[in-house]
Amino acid sequence: MNKLKISNYQQFLTFTLVAATTITYTTHAAFAQLLRGAGDSFAQPLIERYSQEYQQQTGGNFKYSSVGSGGGIRLFTNNSVDFGATTLIPTPIEINQMDDGLLMIPTGGGALAIVYHLKEVSSDVKLSRDQLAKIFTGQITNWQQVNSRFPNKKIQVLVCSDNCGTNFILTKYLREITGGKIVASRNPDWGFRVFSTLNQDSEIAGEVKRIDGAIGYVQTNVALKNNLSIASIENQSGNYVKPTLEETKKALANVTFHDDFSTEDIQDPENGYPLVSLIWLLVHKKYANQETLEKTKNLMTWILTKGQQINEDLGYTKIPENVNKKVIEAVNDEVNIRPF
C-alpha cells in the first residue's frame, strides 16, 4: 500500500511539473514582446521590406505603423513605441522630453516625387524651379501656365497634413529656391486654398490617380507602385531630372554627418535630383527590460548590415560604410538597460 501511494505521488508530482513547465512556456510564448515602431510614410516602403526580410532571415518580428514623422516622434517621446522613424531631425525641445535618451540611426536616403495626373497629356511634364514654387503657393493655377500645349485645366493641389516630414522636405527646398520667401515647416501655411489635405502618401497617391488635373508629392517608391506620372524637376545646374536612384545618390553624395548622426539640412544640391532626404530610426538609450533591449539592438544591427543590401532595390541609398560602422558601435555601447 505504501509503495502504491508513493508511486501515485511520484506520478502526480511528475505530471504537475510537466504541466507547470508547459503552462510557463506557453504563457511566455503568447506574451513575447513584439517590437513596435511608428513614423514617417516616406520610410514605410523600406521598413515594410525590412520587416519581411528580417522575419525570413531571423524569425524575428516587428510592427510598424505609418503615422507621419511628427506622430512618430511624439509616440517615441511618450514611450508608446520601441522605435520611431523620421525624415525630421527632432528639435532640442523634443529631445529634452525624451527621458530615456535618443540615438538617431541613419538608415538610408530617398527622394520625394512630384506626381500629377493629366489625362490629355502623354508627354513628360517638366517643372522649372520657378513653376514648382508658384504651383505650391497658388500663383500658378492652370496647367496652360506650365505649358501652353497643356489643356486649359485647373491645377488641383494635394498636400500632406500637419506634422508631415514630406511637408518639410518640400518647403525646405522651396525656401532655398525662392530666397527665403517660403518658410520651411512641418505645418505649412500654403497661402491659398489647396484642393485637399491628406494624412498618408498612399492617400495622396490614390487621390492624384483619381483626379484629372491633380498634383501632389509622395515618396518615389509609392509613386512607382501606384503607376503615377512623375514630373522632371529643374535642379540648381539647370538640368531637368527625375527621382531615380542614380540622381538621388548624386544629391546625397556630399552629406556630412555630425557626431550624433544628424546632418545639416540638405537644401539645394547642385547635382542630382533636389527633393531628397535621409531617414533616421530613433531608439532609446535606455530600455525597461532586457528582452526589448536585445531585440532592438539585434534589429538595428541587422538593418545596418544585411538590411542595407535591400535599400537600393527600392530606390533608397545606403548609408556610407564608415558612418555605418560608427552607428553600430554606438548601438552596442550606448543602448542599455534602464537602471532602477
Q: What is the pLDDT of residues 307-320, one digit of tens each?
A: 999 999 999 999 99
Q: What is the pLDDT of residue 192?
A: 95
Q: What is the pLDDT of residue 32?
A: 56
Residue-wise pLDDT tens digits, 171-201:
999 999 999 999 999 999 999 999 999 988 9
Residue-wise pLDDT tens digits, 31-59:
457 999 999 989 999 999 999 999 999 99
Task: Tell me the average pLDDT across 11-15.
Answer: 39
- Domains for the chain: give ranges and CATH numbers: 30-110+275-337 (3.40.190.10), 111-252 (3.40.190.10)
What confidence tier does 17 reach under pLDDT thresholds 50, 70, 90? very low
Q: Reduce the secondary structure of the chain to three states and give it as a string.
A: CHHHHHHHHHHHHHHHHHHHHHHHHHHHHHCCCCEEEEECCCCHHHHHHHHHHHHHHHCCCEEEEECCHHHHHHHHHCCCCCEEEECCCCCHHHHHCCCCCCEEEEEEEEEEEEEECCCCCCCCCEECHHHHHHHCCCCCCEHHHCCCCCCCCECEEEEECCCCHHHHHHHHHHHHHCCCCCCCCCCCCCCCCCCEEECCHHHHHHHHHHCCCEEEEEEHHHHHHCCCEECEEECCCCCEECCCHHHHHHHHCCCCECCCCCECCCCCCCCCCCCEEEEEEEECCEECCHHHHHHHHHHHHHHHCCCHHHHHHHCCECCCHHHHHHHHHHHHHHCEECCC
Who contacts 286 (Cβ-Cβ below 8 Å, separation ≥6)?
100, 101, 335, 336, 337, 338, 339
What confidence tier does 127 reach under pLDDT thresholds 50, 70, 90? very high
Q: What is the pLDDT of residue 49?
A: 96
Task: Tell me: pLDDT of 60 over 90.
Answer: yes
Residue-wise pLDDT tens digits, 232-260:
999 999 999 999 999 999 999 989 999 99
Residue-wise pLDDT tens digits, 61-94:
999 999 989 999 999 999 999 999 999 999 999 9
Task: Tell me the average pLDDT across 150-165.
Answer: 94
Q: What is the pLDDT of residue 18?
A: 38
What confidence tier does 21 reach under pLDDT thresholds 50, 70, 90? very low
Task: Tell me the average pLDDT across 283-308.
Answer: 96
Residue-wise pLDDT tens digits, 261-276:
999 878 889 999 999 9
7-21, 31-45, 317-331: range with lowest mean pLDDT:
7-21
Supply the pTM of this predicted model. Answer: 0.87
Task: Tell me: pLDDT of 4 over 50.
Answer: no
Q: What is the pLDDT of residue 265?
A: 77
